[in-house]
Amino acid sequence: MDPFVFVIQNGPELLPREDMMRLCLYIIGTSAGRVQQMAAQALLDTVEAASGCEGCAVATQGEVDVLLQALQSSASPVREAGLKVGTAVSLC
């Protein structure tokens, strides 16, 4: 099997990353405890999939806007999550 075809068929660019980020941020803002922690980890994983590193997609403007909106949220956990994952986009 050609590995290039495998990457295209299963690549992170096929994920609905922007919607996943919005959902994770919503869960972070409306829940507490273990659920909130799991949503924060899912958000971090989603952002890392759009980090631009090797094997990852490049973040779209919409995804960047979602993270910027998180920084302006009235919910402290959402702002903290936005700050934490914002660095993952710029690591590569």
As for how many domains the chain has, the answer is 1
pLDDT in tens, 69-85: 999 999 999 999 999 88
In sequence order, what are the residues at sequence separation of 6 or more whose Cβ sits closer than 8 angstroms to the Cβ of residue 32?
none
**Per-residue model confidence (pLDDT) at position 50:** 83
Residue 82 lies in a domain: yes
The pLDDT, as a whole number, for residue 1 is 45
- Give the per-residue pLDDT at 54: 80
* pTM of structure: 0.82
Task: Indicate whether 49 belongs to any domain.
Answer: yes
Output DSSP code: residue 83: H
Q: Say if residue 5's pLDDT is above 50.
A: no
Residue 72 covered by a domain: yes
pLDDT digits (tens, 9 = 90+) for 26-66: 999 999 999 999 999 999 999 988 887 787 888 889 999 99
DSSP 40: H
The range of the structural domain enclosing residue 21 comes to 3-87
**Gyration radius of the chain over CA positions:** 14
pLDDT at 90: 63
- Residue (of 35, 32, 23, 34) closest to 70 by Cα position: 23
Cα torsion 78, 84, 85, 89: sign:
positive
Q: Is residue 92 part of a domain?
A: no
Tell me whether residue 34 is in a domain: yes
